[in-house]
Amino acid sequence: SEEMLIAGHAVFQGELRDMVRRRPPRMFSKWGESLMTSNSTNEDEEGGAQRRPQMYSGGDDVGQAEGPVQRKYGYAVCISPDYEPKLNLEPYHELHFRVRTDGRMYIINVQCESVDPSDLWSAYLIAPANEWVTVQMDFSKLMRTAYNRLKAHQSRINKKEIISFGITCTGAEGPFRFEIESIKAVCKSKAEVDAQIKRERELKAESYARMKQRQERQREIERKRTLALRQHRQR
């Protein structure tokens, strides 16, 4: 399988606290400072200065310009610098995350060129605590969201124009740690793609068969109920 390295070693860490506050201040930090640390260097073409990820933490009011929060729990987010030019991942089928976490549930966010600039394509990432694992995430499984909410109208991610990647940690108070060895875009072989399509068709067929069985059982229950009611009226 062909693959493309998107990100190298980095650590996203900090501590969540329950909060009730207005929009929190955004913290801009180089790799190696604040919530995100990394051994890698990411130099631009002009002056060799490191590109800076965008980081912020606070109450659950991401994306709101002002006003009180809606729910009382903390969050922390790290967003990669915008890719210039935008990444073209159209040939690739999956993202592979080589990570070691504390066992918390994290959210992976991918931003692409879209009509609505608030759109993100997201998926949960859960890994065993304190173990290096590779988590495979198919692009087709990413769900369209905005402000941490699932959008009613779903559409596929625009893989031709990827703008940035992000990680969200939210939930219970306390420290968190999300260590990344690498993030790769992976292109499956034709045999792997064909096997996946076959498996998805089999799962759909199994799901349809189970639905038909439930419908048949329900019809049988209704038939028996109607028959019992008629017998009762005839007495």
pLDDT in tens, 59-89: 333 333 233 333 445 678 888 888 889 999 9
- 109 in Cβ contact with 95 (< 8 Å): no
| DSSP SS3 for 83 | coil
Q: ∠ CA(59), CA(63), CA(67), 5° rounding?
A: 60
Residue 8 token pair? 């190298």
Mean pLDDT per 10-residue interval, the chain, length 235 residues: 83 71 33 33 33 39 32 70 91 93 93 93 94 94 88 92 90 85 88 80 85 89 89 81
pLDDT at 73: 56
Residue 96 token pair? 């592979």
